[in-house]
Structure 1
Amino acid sequence: MKTLTRISNAIMEKYLPDPYIFVTILTVLVLLLGVTLTDSSPLDMVTYWGDGFWGLLSFTMQMVIVLAAGHILANSPVFKSALSTLASKIKTPGMAIIIVTFVSLIACWINWGFGLVIGALFAKEIARYVKKVDYRLLIASAYSGFVIWHGGLAGSVPLSIATEGHPFADIMGVVPTNITLFSTYNLFIVIVIVLTLPFFNRWMMPKEKDVVEVDPVLLVEDKTELPKPENNFASRSERSYILTILVGLIGLVYLFHHFITKGFVLDLNVVNTIFIILGIIFHGTPQRFLAAAQDAIKTTTGIVFQFPFYAGIMGMMTASGLAAVFSEWFVNISNENTFYLFSFYAAGLVNFFVPSGGGQWAVQAPIMLDAATSLGADYAKTAMAIAWGDAWTNMIQPFWALPALAIAGLKAKDIMGFCLFILIFTGIIISLGLLFF
């Protein structure tokens, strides 16, 4: 395994381009495939791209906030002390890889936005304390927990089809989570991944001579210089704890009311609200909170300027029917025994071009549910096969790695050599769960 990962890392470092170059290559590729495999003309594909370019604008802003707010929270004195205390208990590189993987898996199972940020922040803090741990593998391990998100409590597909009036209710009805998230096959997949992936990641640890430790520069935090206090209203209000207490109380009362009335529902907006309110409270004064925000926003550049390109790709895939073409390839070679497996693989392929769980379900559901009807397959399991496919290939899709990479200060090529083997390992587990349960 050490030899294989060393070769994989060398290949990725040499040939995998920056995520921006990757998304531009995908844009051109999808345009050419759309012209070749559908009835769309080049002008049609360009139009679809332009029409879809701003389709993820709301989601882009959510991701900017989840990254910036997570960064603000992590750099607050209280949270930083807690992370440091936990990280200081870890003594060996092997223990570091196992624990950061496990923490990331559990956090992503609870909520993917929370897990995506917390895993990377925890890994970076561990790098301060544990010597001779491969920083690339540490961040890859933190990101690997994301593979479980669509089988967890915040999975967009199972939560969508469990909601009254969802778009495909006339075909499959309302599907309760006890036969999706808490089904035998889904619990098998989740439990086996949680119990084995930390040790698989540990197995990939490079030989000591090949270890790439963290660059100390990445651990140096740029702090915005706070202005000197002045004896005027503006300066006093910026340093006021009273304003922090009032805003904090408003936020906490809202969150308390939300969880009391709606249960433990964590969507991306709620996660962002938690991060922001706790960040405000833990920094103490508005001045310190705003200084932390100024530092944090620097990490969001990749998201701001790359997500619109993925939205354009998604527009081409959906409007041209190219996503349907990919799905039908797998449907045509399926039977009643292999249908769920090929649904999973089809979703994994489409996820490269439509990296949005909800968007992918909207594209693939009509084809896959129609095929399920013809084969007499179970609708709930079909939906979960698509959900797992969406989560699975995120391991080698730079789109979702951008927040973790921004926090870590790494490039996609630094972790993808490890992520490729995580993809293979988890793909085997998911395939077995869908095929035999």
Structure 2
Amino acid sequence: MLASLGAFFTKIVRKYLPDAFVFAIGLTVLTFILGIIINHQTPMQMLNHWGGGLWNLLTFSMQVSLTLVTGFILAHTAPVQKILKGAASRVTTPSGAIMAAALIASIASWLSWGFGLIVGALIARELAKNVKGVHYPLLVAAAYSGFVVWHAGLSASASLAVATPGHFLEETMGIIPVTETMFALPNLVALILIVVTLPFLFKMMMPKDPNDIMEFNPEEAAAAEVVTETTAIGESTPAQALENSRIGSFVLGLMMIVYLVYYFTQNGGLTALNLNVINLAFFALGILFVKSPKEYVDMAVAAGKNVANIIIQYPLYAGIMGMMVGSGLAATMTGWLVSIANVHTLPVFGFLSAGLVNLFVPSGGGQWAVQGPIMVPAAQQLGVDVAKVVQTVAWGDAWTNMIQPFWAIPLLGIAGLSIRDIMGYCAVTLIWTGIIISAVYMIF
């Protein structure tokens, strides 16, 4: 039954799922039209709201781009690669490989969404090389499914955004520390249940017929390897010697580490986490682990191709936010939400609605920018803990990434597969994790 359901989702995606940028355009047009019809704005008024909001997320766009770039680089450094190869060498059976991929990718995604995506692809490749008879699409799907926990982790866009002074809803909701969102009890319970059960879920989906097993093909995935260039010692000029020396990267990394230690000691430890701090930590580790500044730059260039699609979409999300707030559409939708929700159902309703919105706004930060102005006033009017609503929206955003291919692009590029190879298995993940998250937030 689950295999049939996965095949159904795959068939739908193949027919009807356009590029994520097209989704952003469609949502822009839809918001424009709704503002005219529902809130009686003129087309020029809506256009003015849109244009005025286009650049309101530039800081956040840079933060998110750095998250992916620094996570990509750190995952490709020699120490992290050594850990991945060591972990893969301990696995000897196909079922062990499947379970290990899901577990390792989940942990890495909890640390950082960008790191998790890259580590998931790399550990899947290493496991496929070492273990014969493992179904490679299922292995990669297990690694990508670990990504479902990212918005409950340390790089959670919504949780970190509302914990960062100056965020766009600060005047409405104030600052909410991460102890009330990502480290709150309901979030931790849902997180642990998913991380523990996901490997067993994928073990049960392993194909029984050997003819259905598609093993890893090293030749097809060779193009995804990251290659860094260094200048031969005998040909080095003084400038090239500096570029290829570890001294510069070590000094910079050491400065970052010292600052981070000072920052945490002066600001209450982990409660002071925000997106800037996460990015600096990954930047520091990555620059310390590489052989030279030039190697770091080469890796950044390789990471850049995974960032372009994100960069061009964020202005559209900012424009959507501008239209929703400027036209009063957000307030109108909040009124609808309050009329059909109550203090007990709003968190779960927020989770489900965020999952739906994520199909059209495949971006954690972009989605919070669109949905935050709706959910926060609704929570305040109903007397619901705003921090809980922030986290359920975060879970909903991560949840339907399992059937939204946008975030799978960098992982699939490294793995050498297409979204059609893994979508059916990820749909099963969607069902299972949806049950867990809904149940946890109904109980709590």
Residue aligning to 1:218: 221
2:255 alignment partner AA: I
Alpha-carbon distance in 2 for matches of 1:166, 1:311: 13
1:170-194 Cα shifts (integer Å, max 9, x gaps): 9888767666555554343223222
Q: Cα distance, 1:423 vs. partner?
A: 2.3
The reply to whether residue 300 of structure 1 matches residue 313 of structure 2 is no
Could you say if the C-alpha distance between residues 382 and 83 of structure 1 is closer, same or farther in structure 2, counting changes exceeding 3 Å? closer
Whether 2:323 is the aligned partner of 1:316: answer: yes
Instruction: Determine which of 210, 234, 239 is the counterpart of 2:239.
Output: 234
Match of 1:243 in 2: 248
Q: For residues 211 and 110 of structure 1, what CA distance do their matches in structure 2 show?
A: 32
- Size of the aligned set, in residue pairs, is 434
Of stretches 88-97 and 127-136 in structure 1, the one that deviates more from structure 2 is 127-136
Partner of 2:278: 271
- 1:367 has 2:368 as partner: no
Q: Distance in 2 between matches of 1:253 and 1:406?
A: 35
Per-residue deviation, 1:431: 1.5
Supply the AA of the counterpart residue of 2:25: T
CA distance in structure 1 between the aligned counterparts of 2:199 and 2:140, rounded to whole angstroms: 13
Displacement of 1:159 after TM fit? 6.0
- Between 1:169-178 and 1:61-70, the stretch displaced more is 169-178
* Native 8 Å contact 1:157 1:361 kept in 2: no
2:77 paired residue number:
76
2:307 alignment partner, SS class: helix
Q: Say whether the 8 Å CA contact 1:110–1:154 is kept in structure 2.
A: yes
Matches within 5 A, 1:328-367: 328-352=335-359, 355=363, 356=365, 358-360=368-370, 362-367=372-377
Query: 1:82–1:184: structure 2 CA closer, same or farther, 3 Å change rule?
Result: closer
Aligned counterparts of 1:53 and 1:173: Cα–Cα separation in 2: 24
Contact 1:343 1:368 in 2 (8 A): no
What is the match of residue 19 of structure 1?
A: 20
State the Cα distance separating 1:52 from its structure 2 match. Answer: 3.2
What residue in structure 2 maps to residue 431 of structure 1?
Answer: 438
Task: Work out whether residues 346 and 379 of structure 2, in 8 Å CA contact, stay in contact via their aligned partners in 1.
Answer: no
The superposition leaves residues 34-85 of structure 1 with CA deviations (integer Å, 9 ceiling, x where unpaired) of 4444323444444433333333333333333333333333333333222222
Q: Which amino acid aligns with 1:395?
A: M
Residues 203, 32 of structure 1: alpha-carbon distance in 2 compared, 3 angstrom cutoff: farther
- Taking the aligned partners of 2:183 and 2:120, their CA distance within structure 1 comes to 24
Question: Structure 2 matches for 1:344-423, cutoff 5 A?
Answer: 344-352=351-359, 355=363, 356=365, 358-360=368-370, 362-373=372-383, 377-408=384-415, 410-423=417-430
Identify which range, 321-330 or 235-244, moves more after superposition: 321-330
In structure 2, the gaps of 5 or more residues are none
> Separation in 1 of the partners of 2:305 and 2:28?
26
In structure 2, C-alpha distance between the alignment counterparts of 1:288 and 1:174, rounded to whole Å:
38
> What per-residue deviation string (whole Å, max 9, x for no partner) do you get for residues 156-213 of structure 1?
5556667899888898887676665555543432232222222223334456544454
- The one-character-per-residue Cα deviations of 1:309-347 (angstroms, maximum 9, x if unpaired) are 333334334434444554544432234543333233233
Once superposed, what is the RMSD of the aligned Cα atoms?
3.7
Instruction: Indicate whether 1:261 and 2:263 are aligned.
Output: no
TM-score of the two chains, using structure 2 as the length reference: 0.81
> What amino acid maps onto 1:347 in structure 2?
A
The answer on whether the counterparts of 2:71 and 2:114 sit within 8 Å (CA) in structure 1 is no
Call closer, same or farther: CA 1:261–1:53 in 2, change over 3 Å. Answer: same
- Identity over aligned residues, as a percent? 44
Q: How far apart are the structure 2 equivalents of 1:132 and 1:295? A: 31
1:217-275 per-residue CA deviation (whole Å, 9 max, x = no partner) reads 32342525444442532232223233333333223322332333331354333333333
Correspondences of 1:40-79 after superposition (within 5 Å): 40-79=41-80
**Taking structure 1 as reference, are residues 82 and 182 closer, same or farther at Cα in structure 2, changes over 3 Å only?**
closer
Give the distance between the partners of 1:272 and 1:306, measured in 2 at CA: 21
Deviation at 1:363, TM superposition (A): 0.8
Question: 1:119 maps to what in 2?
Answer: 120
Amino acid at match of 1:372: L
Q: Which moved more, 1:158-167 or 1:351-360?
A: 158-167
Gaps of 5+ in 1: none
For residues 268 and 171 of structure 1, what CA distance do their matches in structure 2 show? Answer: 20
Residues 342 and 382, structure 2, Cα contact 8 Å, conserved in 1: no
TM-score (norm 1): 0.82
Name the CA distance, whole Å, in 1 between partners of 2:80 and 2:381: 49
Matched residue type, 2:377: I
Equivalent runs, 1:166-181 vs 2, <5 Å: 181=182
Quickly say closer, same or farther: Cα 1:193–1:315, change in 2 above 3 A. Answer: same
Distance 1:181 1:224 in 2: 36
Describe the SS at the equivalent of 1:299.
coil
CA contact (8 A) 1:323 1:350 kept: no
> Counterparts of 1:164 and 1:195 in 2: how far apart (Å)?
34
CA change 1:124–1:37 in 2 (3 A) is farther
